[in-house]
Amino acid sequence: MKRLILTFLCLLCIKMAWSMTEKERQDYLKWMQTNLPAVTEWTEWQGKTGELPPDFDQLSKSNLLPDPLRFADGRPVGYGDAEWNARRNEIKQLFEKYVTGTFPSKPAIDKIVLLDEIKGEGYTLRNVRLEFGPQGKGSVRVRVVIPDGMGNRKFPVVISPSLSGWGQLVLKRGYIHVGYAGNDSMDDGAPLKDLYPDYDFATLPRRAWLAQIVVDYLATLPQVDMARIAINGYSRDGKMVLIAAALEERIAAVLAGSTGVGGAVPWRFAGERGGGEGIESTTRMFPGWFISRLRYFSGKEDYLPVDANLLLALVAPRSILLEWGYTDQVANGWAMEQAYKSVQKVYERLRQSDKIGMLSISGFHGSNDEEASIDWLDGQFGCSEKKWVNRFVFPWNFDVWRSYSVETIDLTQYPEQNIATPLAASQAEWAKKKPDLLKSVQWMLGDSPLILAPVLGDVPFMRSRMSAVRPSPGASEIGKGNIGNPGQLAPDVPAWVISNGGTSYSWTSPEKELVTSRRIRFGSAGTRSGGVTGDLYYPVNTPEGMKLPVVIWLHGFHYPLGYMWVYRSDLHPVLALAKAGYAVLAYDQSGFGTRWDEAEHFYDRYPHYSRLGKMVDDLRSAVDVLQNDSIADPSKIFVYGYTMGGTLGLYAAALDDRIGGVVSIAGFTPMRTDTPEKGTSGMTRYSHLYGLTPRLGLFAGNEMQLPYDYDELMALISPRPVLIVQPKRDRDASIPDVQAAVKRAQKIYIFDKAGNKLVLQEPDDYARLTNATQDRIIDWVKENF
């Protein structure tokens, strides 16, 4: 007994030792107040409550999704209903603490007030008001549309968070439709804030809570099949209906369309790194959606105890359909598929693996295939025997790849590296090492497909055909409203963003009026890249015949929009660079934006290649074309990459000395020391998670035997200029390890008498690209090009 008490006290002391001090929490609050955009509602809440940021040292840190089958303390969830129910209750409590706020108990309906009733041809439409709560002061308006039925027939139900909702469609498909006032245009949840002052449930959770009252009303209707109740919602309403289903277990199915973050898109895989909305932008632009405490996790998503996969787990084992558009700027298909894969473990544990579905369609945000959604629901509710097939656009699985590629390595041929020693003792020793390093880098990127050299006299069919399909989104198109629209089947993403413009897309005035562009094609069918379309932007008043230095913009993990950006208030890098007098080539990386469809079958077709290798080949093809472009100075071509793009830029420049220099922003953390316990995703993020370099995964658990790392990549670029921008608060990097890698590579630059050409900037920020950081980068670029 004494031993147990001593053990407990030791653990308690360790926990306390790891705790943040009050000053550290205050300092973090001051950093937020100084560096993040001001949000009036949040400032008022913080001032009123005096609440400090969480003690992050008391929270687990991981850039990977929290495991739904592990308790918060790390214990595995055992088999049996009691274990899962305990985990489910824990997840609900965590959501209430960090995301939704707390909920009052569901009250009984005090009164059903009939507002009107219309008898239509084959149906009855009824508007009612449901009164409930303290002194009957709560109410929600409901519209129910009931098909005429024979005898005691009961109908399945679809609930919508608006009175009209999907009424027209579901009536035709044999469902009762129930709409309630639970959206922006008609929000009967708003008064609940004052009606229940002891509970802090936020706007979307309040609307979700009302769904319970609606279901209680449905139980009074004899035509309703209470076992077959579904709820649908799109965008912010999609977030809301997932919360509603988590609260109300009588909801048997959820149709969640393009929910974005806070719904089916994980916070960890979104935000600035994903080129879309995240905690900072959501809590700033829509501060009432979730509780104010969530904003403390801006840039610290890795500490958030919950995420989208756990919200989906709260609905299990009931049915969920997740819908998204390929170029949907709010959704992130890759991130949603990761949430799906995570929660699928729960459905399998509960023996209901066919209850969760995916529906991906063409178009931007607003594309919504309601008929297909009801097709899926028909299958779930036994109205159809047609089998639903989930299509995964990003079906990558490292273990599956390894089984069919039969790739192996002999680890005895890869000695452990001593990163405490210099890369080389002399310039001569480095010169001897370089060829083998370059071979290792090329091997890691995989085996490029054979290239058929162009034959003299052949017509470049692909080039002319594609140019006709996609005209350049130049300055003349800015302001036109007919370039792209939600639901279009063949979207031109850059043109659509430019035509929409505005601060949400960082494509803003006056800078956007000062740039023009033309579309170029590089890497046609007979070259290493297989054909890519890009846009070359440059200042509008560039004199004819003038040669400009060229920047190639390499975007991050921007799955929906590729090289464009959404929910970004700072100026787009393309416009910032063009404003500074540079020509800028921008294009979507393979598997992103307009090229989303290149990911699905990539490794089926090229099992010994890699997607990062494909990106490097594309980039080198871009350099081929720029070497002969009328506006480009071939001696001044450099790359400017953010997150994934920063990684790509370093690889490409190491292999191609025509690239004059590199800007890499939050582009890496050294792989040999990127072990799982650090919580930064681990080295296997490139192989197992993103599927960018599969061969890297062959070294999992043996990271110190990797034949090269980012210090070697930087050294291979010497003496060309390299700027490493490593934000101090970047959750995807170990800052000391990045510093050490730059210092190690610096020795080679010194050998090459270019010690000042490798520079490390460390903004006190997380991995954002703010105007202030961007201005400092461009100043460095001007000094070096």
3 state DSSP class of 20: coil
CA 306 – CA 267 distance, rounded (Å)? 9
Please state, rounded to an integer, the average pLDDT across all residues of the chain: 91
Per-residue tokens: 77: 């969830």
- Backbone dihedral angles phi then psi of residue 323, each to the nearest 5 degrees: -115, 140
- Cα separation of 354 and 390, whole Å? 10
* Distance separating alpha carbons of residues 622 and 629, to the nearest angstrom: 10
pLDDT band at 760 (very low <50, low <70, confident <90, very high): very high
Closest by CA position to 223, among listed 141, 150, 171, 115: 150
Whether the bond into 510 is cis, omega within 30 of 0: yes
Structure tokens at 727: 């934000």
Question: 14-57 pLDDT, tens per residue?
Answer: 444 589 999 999 999 999 999 999 999 999 999 999 999 999 99
One-letter-per-residue 3-state SS of 267-307: HHHCCHHHCCCCHHHHHHHCCCCCCHHHHHHCCCHHHCCCC
What lies within 8 Å, CB to CB, of 537 at 6+ separation is: 515, 516, 517, 574, 575, 578, 583, 584, 585, 586
Mean pLDDT for 745-751 is 98
pLDDT beyond 70 at 635 = yes
Q: Contact, 267 vs 308, CB < 8 A?
A: yes
Strand partners, 519: 535
Q: How large is the average pLDDT for residues 507-511?
A: 91
Q: For position 451, what pLDDT does the model report?
A: 75
Which amino acid is present at 410? D
Count CB-CB contacts under 10 A for residue 528: 17
- In this model, does residue 141 exceed pLDDT 90? yes
Contact partners, residue 373, CB within 8 Å, separation at least 6:
232, 255, 257, 321, 323, 359
HSE-up of 185 (CA within 13 Å, CB side)? 6
What is the dihedral sign for C-alpha 36, 37, 41, 43?
positive
- Residue for token pair 């490409």: 652
328 to each of 13, 487, 496, 505, 582, how far by Cα in Å? 48, 9, 12, 13, 30
CB 72 within 8 A of CB 86: no
Q: Which residue has the tokens 């679809």?
A: 158
Structural tokens at position 121: 């041809």
Phi (first) and psi of residue 139, to 5 degrees: -155, 155
Share of the chain above pLDDT 70, in %: 91
- Sole residue written with tokens 């109300």: 248
| C-alpha to C-alpha distance for 321 and 301, rounded to whole angstroms | 25
Q: What does the DSSP 8-state code read for residue 261?
A: B
Question: What SS3 state is found at 18?
Answer: coil
Which tokens in the block code for residue 541?
């008043």
Integer CA distances (angstroms), 124 to 148, 177, 178, 444, 549, in order: 7, 11, 12, 66, 69
Three-state SS string across 450-508, please? CCCCCCCCCCCHHHHHHHHHCCCCCHHHCCCCCCCCCCCCCCCHHHHHHHHCECCECEC
Question: Shortest CA distance to 155 belongs to which of 252, 228, 230?
Answer: 228
Under the banding of pLDDT at 50, 70 and 90, the label for residue 456 is: low
Residue 601 falls in which region: left (phi positive, over 0), alpha (psi -120 to 50) or beta: alpha
Q: Where are the beta strands (DSSP E) in 509-631?
A: 515-522, 532-539, 548-554, 583-587
Determine the pLDDT at residue 503: 66
Mean pLDDT of 608-631: 96
Amino acid at 396: W
Residue 136: strand, helix, or coil: helix
What DSSP letter does each residue of 315-382 carry, written as one string? HTTSEEEEEEETT-SS--HHHHHHHHHHHHHHHHHTT-GGGEEEEEESSSTT---HHHHHHHHHHHTT
CB-CB contact of 180 with 211 (8 Å): yes
388 phi and psi angles, rounded to 5 deg: -90, 135
What's the pLDDT band for 468 if we cut at 50, 70, 90? very low
pLDDT digits (tens, 9 = 90+) for 356-392: 999 999 888 888 999 999 999 999 999 999 999 999 9
For residue 512, give the nearest of 527, 497, 522 by alpha carbon.
Answer: 497
pLDDT at 463: 35
Say what the pLDDT of residue 13 is: 44
Tokens of 224: 């309703």
pLDDT of res. 14? 42
Provide φ and ψ at 182, rounded to 5°. -135, 40
For residues 418-444, average pLDDT? 97
The pLDDT value given to residue 680: 85
By the 8 A CB rule, do 232 and 257 touch?
Answer: yes
Q: Measured between alpha carbons, how far is 233 from 238 in angstroms, rounded to an integer?
A: 4
Six-digit token string for 70 = 């592990």
pLDDT tens digits along 160-188: 999 999 999 999 999 999 999 999 999 99
Beta bridge partners of 641: 554, 664
Contact 557, 275 (CB under 8 A): yes
Find how far residue 295's CA is from the centre of its chain. 17
Sheet holding 758-761, edge to edge: 515-522, 532-539, 583-587, 548-554, 632-642, 662-665, 722-725, 758-761
528-553 per-position pLDDT tens digit: 556 899 999 999 999 999 999 999 99
Rounded CA-CA distance 521/587 in Å is 10
Nearest to 474 by CA among 504, 507, 506: 507
Distances (CA, A) of 100 to 107, 195, 208, 284: 19, 17, 10, 16
Contact 215, 251 (CB under 8 A): yes
For helices 611-626 and 427-445, give the axis angle rounded to 10 degrees.
110
Under 8 Å between Cβ of 368 and 332: no
pLDDT tens digits for range 764-775: 999 999 999 999
pTM score, whole prediction: 0.93
Measured CA to CA, the distance from residue 55 to residue 18 in angstroms comes to 9
Residue type, 291: I
**Model pLDDT, residue 133:** 96
Task: Report the C-alpha gap between 264 and 234 in whole angstroms.
Answer: 11
Q: Lowest-confidence range among 110-119, 644-653, 673-682?
A: 673-682
Buried b (16+ CB within 10 A) or exposed e, 244-258: bbbbbeebbbbbbbb
Residue by residue, DSSP assigns 681-705 as --GGGTTTTS-S-GGGGGGTT-GGG
Range with the poorest average pLDDT among 44-53, 103-112, 475-484: 475-484
CA distance 734 to 714: 17
Task: Note if the bond before 317 is cis, omega within 30 degrees.
Answer: yes
- 3-state class (DSSP) for residue 308: helix
Angstrom distance (rounded) from CA 92 to CA 246: 8
Checking phi first, is residue 654 left (phi over 0); if not, alpha (psi -120 to 50) or beta?
alpha
